[in-house]
Amino acid sequence: MIKIMLVSAFFILAACTRDYTPASSATGESIFKEACAECHQPKDPAVPQVVFSLNEKNANERYITHKVQGGSLMMPKFPKITGSKMRSLSTYVLNHSVTQ
Ligand code: HEC
């Protein structure tokens, strides 16, 4: 019984992996719309250019890449967003963030 509960807890908590692969023509914006916008929407519809509010130390490409490729408890990971596509996506995210 305990074992079954632990196994189900693992599946509920473990971040899932998305197979999404950007097309060769994809831009930061198109990737964001296809892969991210279902969960990440502007906090205030009147200010559509602000989607994220990042801690100052996280407002960089390294952190965003880590988050996207590694996921978290709540966010799926996207291991197939890499290289120049990951860079364009990071730029898009940073251009749509405020820092705190
Ligand atoms: C299934 C929903 C979901 C999808 C799809 C998703 N995210 Fe997330 N994301 C979350 C949740 C929930 C959080 C907040 C919890 C956390 O930080 O893990 C988050 C956190 C983040 C953060 C950290 C924000 C901070 O304040 O530090 C970034 C950056 C981010 N997501 C970028 C993306 C990008 C880029 C994509 C598309 C490739 C994406 N997310 C797709 C659910 C999602």
Q: How many domains does the chain have?
A: 1
For residue 41, being part of any structural domain is answered with yes
pLDDT of residue 8: 52
Task: Flag whether pLDDT at 6 surpasses 70.
Answer: no
Could you tell me the distance, in angstroms and rounded to a whole number, from the CA of residue 6 to the centre of ligand 1? 26
The reply to whether the predicted model has a pTM over 0.85 is yes
Report which protein residue has its CA nearest ligand 1's atom 26: 54
**Which residues lie below 8 Å from residue 98, measured CB to CB, with a gap of 6+?**
50, 52, 53, 54
Could you tell me the distance, in angstroms and rounded to a whole number, from the CA of residue 75 to the centre of ligand 1? 5
Place of tokens 């019984």: 1
Q: What percent of the chain lies above the pLDDT cut of 70?
A: 85
Which residue segment(s) compose the domain that 44 sits in?
15-99
For residue 8, being part of any structural domain is answered with no
Neighbours of 13 (CB within 10 A): 9
Tell me the mean pLDDT in the region 40-45.
94
Q: What is the pLDDT of residues 58-97, one digit of tens each?
A: 999 999 999 999 999 999 999 999 999 999 999 999 999 9
For residue 88, being part of any structural domain is answered with yes
Whether residue 97 has its Cβ less than 6 Å from ligand 1 = no
For residue 22, being part of any structural domain is answered with yes
pLDDT of residue 17: 96
Whether residue 76 has its Cβ less than 6 Å from ligand 1 = yes
pLDDT of residue 5: 55
